[in-house]
Structure formats: C-alpha cells, structure tokens
Amino acid sequence: KQEVTQIPAALSVPEGENLVLNCSFTDSAIYNLQWFRQDPGKGLTSLLLIQSSQREQTSGRLNASLDKSSGRSTLYIAASQPGDSATYLCAVRQETSGSRLTFGEGTQLTVNP
Amino acid sequence: NAGVTQTPKFRILKIGQSMTLQCAQDMNHNYMYWYRQDPGMGLKLIYYSVGAGITDKGEVPNGYNVSRSTTEDFPLRLELAAPSQTSVYFCASSYSALGPFNSPLHFGNGTRLTVT
C-alpha cells in the first residue's frame, strides 16, 4: 500500500528565504507526482506535475524534483513571500491503480514579513 | 471561466437525511472526481467519471452515489447520512487526451458537511 509522507508538518520562515519541502513515498512504481497548494477554506491548486520519466519541473519561483528510485520529491521555493503562506501537498499516482491519487498530509508553510 | 463550482459551501445534516452535493465545471473537462478530506487522513477518492454516462468507484465509495448526465455536471448523492460522512468534500476536474490521470487536477472550493 502506497504511503506518502511530508516533512516537516509545519514550517515558518522569514520573507526572502529559499526553502525546500520534502515528500517521500514508499512504492516507487508511480505514474506521476503532483504538488498542490491549499489556502484556508479553499480547494487545492495544482502547482506542478512531474511524470515518472521526468526529473524536475519548474514554474516561476517553484522547482520540483523527482527521484523515483529513492521515493523522494522536493519542492523548492525561491525568495519566499508572505503570499506563499499555505499548506503544500504532494500526491502520487500509482502505475497499477491509475485512479488512485495518494496524498500526503501536507506541510503548512508560514512566510513572515 | 468560473472553473469548478461547488454548492452548497456548508451544510448540516441529521443522521439518516439525504442530500446532493452539486459540482459543475465550465472548462469542457472530460474527467471529474469527488474527494473527501479528513483531518490527518489526507484526501481520499470517492468516485470519478471519465465522461458523460461513465462513472467508477474510487477508494471510499460506500454510502455515496454519483451520476454524470452531462459533461459539465457531476453531483454526489448521500442517501442515508452518517456521522462518519462528516468531512470536507472536494470536486475536481481535468482534461487529457492521454487518459484520465495524466493531467493536473482543478479543484472547487469544497463543501463542508457535518452530520449530527
């Protein structure tokens, strides 16, 4: 059974700092991995999707990497801003059960001005 | 585009009551999904649909029903509400010519349901 773990559960940083969020998964037979952000009382917003054949994806100040063999992904946020404060979730899709998207519990990020 | 719209935003039900959570998308997405989010449990897939008239079970379908009569709408029905169905429900949609699980998901803002 796939398990997705995100560490740390909460992170507080000063504005301008570069930071890394971690996501690990137990079954490396994945189809793809997505990073989402969730603002309080809102739905999830897809940030980046990495296919299993890819090593990384970039969007603006965000860079996500994937090491499928070791079961790890990182989300790098450059020059953090208060508007980046949110909960960040990663989710993996299995090769064998494509409909199932297994989510981590998220990292709650606070960027202090 | 409004994206994915969910109604209502909040609802309190008594045990045994029924209700329908509405979901509509205006992006002409072919795939639609229902998730529930519980504290400390992450999101779990309830049902999904790959197109009008086609639905399939996800991880936690018991106690729920869905229909997909149009591309735009994907309502979720609770027939006999139970306290275990207290949760936040999210509808999502996606489009892909490569299959339902190969593109980013677009989420609605959720329906917060309490069953007492």
B19 in Cβ contact with B64 (< 8 Å): no
**B45/A101 touch (CB, cutoff 8 Å), yes or no:** yes
| Residues of chain B neighbouring A100 (CB-CB closer than 8 A) | 45, 58-59
Q: Is B116 exposed, middle or buried, given 0-12, 13-18 or 19+ CB atoms closer than 10 A?
A: exposed
Chain segment A26-66, per-residue pLDDT in tens: 999 898 999 999 998 888 999 999 989 999 999 999 999 99
- The answer to whether the CB of B91 falls within 8 A of the CB of B33 is yes
Show pLDDT as tens, one digit a residue, over chain B (116 residues): 789 999 999 999 999 999 999 999 999 998 899 999 998 778 899 999 988 999 999 889 999 999 999 999 999 999 899 999 999 999 999 887 566 567 788 999 999 999 99
Chain A's closest residue to B94, CA to CA, is A46
Partners of B32 in the beta sheet?
B49, B93
Using the Cβ of A46 and the Cβ atoms of chain B, whether some distance falls under 8 Å is answered with: yes
Exposure string (b/e) for A11-24, b if CB count within 10 Å is 16 or more?
A: bebeeeeebebebb
Residue A92 — pLDDT band, cuts 50, 70, 90?
A: very high
